[in-house]
Amino acid sequence: MKQKLLDKFAELFGDTEGVTAYFAPGRVNLIGEHTDYNGGHVFPCALTIGTYAVARKRNDRTINFFSINQSGKGLITTSLDDLTPSDAAGWTNYPKGIVWAFLGRGLDIPSGFDMVIGGDIPAGSGLSSSASLEVLTGFMLRDLFNIPDVTNIDLALIGQYSENNYNGMNCGIMDQFASAMGKKDNAILLDCATLEYEYAPISLKDAKIVVTNSKVKHSLVDSAYNDRRSSCEKALEELQTKVDIKTLGDLSEEEFEANKDAIKDEVRVRRAHHAVYENQRTIRAVEALKNGDIAEFGRLMNRSHISLRDDYETSCPECDVLAEEAWKIDGVIGSRITGGGFGGCTVSIVRDDAIENFKAALTAAYQKKCKLTPEFYVVSIGNGPVII
Ligand code: GLA
């Protein structure tokens, strides 16, 4: 990938002298879905696939972007003096938003730059290609313009800030945090209310994490996501008339059951139910993992899927088929939809000796029921952003 990007850079900008190459990972979330913006816990890990860039400072205020994944879009040019988001800017609204957020924090970006990017995260798979591009851009700016005070957690926060305020997607902190703070062979238990985190080694004995791409992405994803978030905010306000809490993540299941009558709408009860129970499931799942109880971890993953399907309603028929069929296959320890939802991927834990059968059986069932062929990735857990 690096060589491809360097070749393109030379073709576009004359040579590659003084160019630096960067990488930031995508992520998969093992459990703790739609809990981040509800002050709960998440348990994602960074992947070894992600987004790459080669870049160099310029002597003027021009910023040039080129993506080898979207080469049809050509060179997209803007300037430090023109950072308003626009439809025409397409994918470059992500890196532009990061430049905008750096400047908004008073960080000095004295000149423009040339940036050629490429990625190996399948498009629309829900493995956080956009968060990886945000973290990558922040990591690159920090290096190019020598801004050492920005930590990797800052890179995650800047990415989320920009996505919320520049790109109009009200996401939580999980994806950017997982990308910026990834650690090889570890998942990250993150308390999204405090940003306290701990790494948990993923040793699944004789099993692996398998991501299955449904190959569907339903429309209106961002608006449905923002809608879930505002339902939970409303439910929280209603609960606060009875209990002294700051987020839904503050509630145990029992406290929720005792106070849920404060929520005046049945749909909102289900949304909040998911947020509260999923948070507790995540804490329990990590405990189970620490105790070597992978079977319990898998059961909690399955329950997470059911809750996302029935209460939070962010699954979709195709991902339901993938998870439900996976549950029937011998050697599958757990399986659930992962990420924002409405398409994208499921994540499963599958025994090593069952992986080939898992792929074949799931492909057959999915083709039969959904007329689509899934794609499988046996996941390796990687580090956060690096210079390559
Ligand atoms: C998307 C968002 C995250 C998180 C997940 C759901 O990936 O970007 O912040 O809310 O959905 O868990």
pLDDT tens-digit profile of 243-256?
Answer: 999 999 999 999 99
Task: Indicate whether 218 pLDDT > 80.
Answer: no
Reply yes or no on whether the pLDDT at 205 is more than 90.
Answer: no
Q: What percent of the chain has pLDDT over 90?
A: 94
CB 114 near ligand 1, within 6 Å: no
Which range among 70-79, 121-130, 182-191 shows the weakest confidence by mean pLDDT? 121-130
User: 336: Cβ below 6 Å to ligand 1?
Assistant: no
Higher-confidence position of 324 and 148: 324
Tokens for 140, please give them: 């690159």
Q: Which atom of ligand 1 is nearest to the CA of 174?
A: 9
Return all residues near 89 (Cβ < 8 A) that are at least 6 apart. 76, 78, 96
Cβ atoms 186, 197 nearer than 8 A: no
% of the chain at pLDDT higher than 70? 99
pLDDT band at 125 (very low <50, low <70, confident <90, very high): confident
* Atom 1 of ligand 1, residue of closest alpha carbon: 340
Residue 355 has pLDDT above 70, yes or no: yes
Instruction: Compute the Cα dihedral for 126, 171, 194, 298 and give only its sign.
Output: negative
SS3 state of residue 334: strand
Q: What is the pLDDT of residues 260-316, one digit of tens each?
A: 999 999 999 999 999 999 999 999 999 999 999 999 999 999 999 999 999 999 999
pLDDT surpassing 80 at residue 221: no
For residue 348, with 0-12 CB atoms within 10 Å meaning exposed, 13-18 middle and 19 or more buried, which class applies?
A: buried
Residue 219 has pLDDT above 90, yes or no: no
Cβ count within 10 A of residue 265: 12
Contacts of 240 (CB under 8 A, 6+ apart): none
Structure tokens given for 300: 């909690």
Task: Tell me: pLDDT of 161 over 90.
Answer: yes
Q: Is the CB of 250 within 6 Å of ligand 1? A: no
275 within a domain of the structure (yes/no)? no
Give the C-alpha separation, 9 to 58, whole Å. Answer: 13
CB 320 within 8 A of CB 328: no
Domain for residue 20, yes or no? Answer: yes
Q: What value does the mean pLDDT take over residues 72-96?
A: 94
Is residue 172 situated within a structural domain? yes
Within 10 Å of residue 171's Cβ, how many Cβ atoms? 22
Q: Running DSSP on this structure, what letter comes out for residue 122?
A: P
DSSP 8-state symbol, 354? G
- The sheet with strand 375-378 has its strands ordered as 332-338, 343-351, 207-217, 375-378
Task: Give rounded-to-5 percent helix, strand, coil for the chain.
Answer: 45, 25, 30
Tokens 């979709």 appear where? 316
Mean pLDDT of 34-62: 98
Give Cα 116 distance to the centre of its chain: 22
Tokens of 162: 């920009």
Residue 220 pLDDT greater than 70, yes or no: no
Number of domains making up the chain:
1
Domain that holds residue 162: 2-31+44-188
Question: Which of ligand 1's atoms lies nearest the C-alpha of 340?
Answer: 11
CATH number at residue 16: 3.30.230.10
- Cβ pair 54, 20 in contact under 8 A: yes
pLDDT above 90 (res 123): no
Spacing, Cα 29 to ligand 1 middle (Å): 9
Residue 55: both structure tokens together: 């870049």
- Which one-letter DSSP state was computed for residue 82? B
Mean pLDDT of 22-32: 98
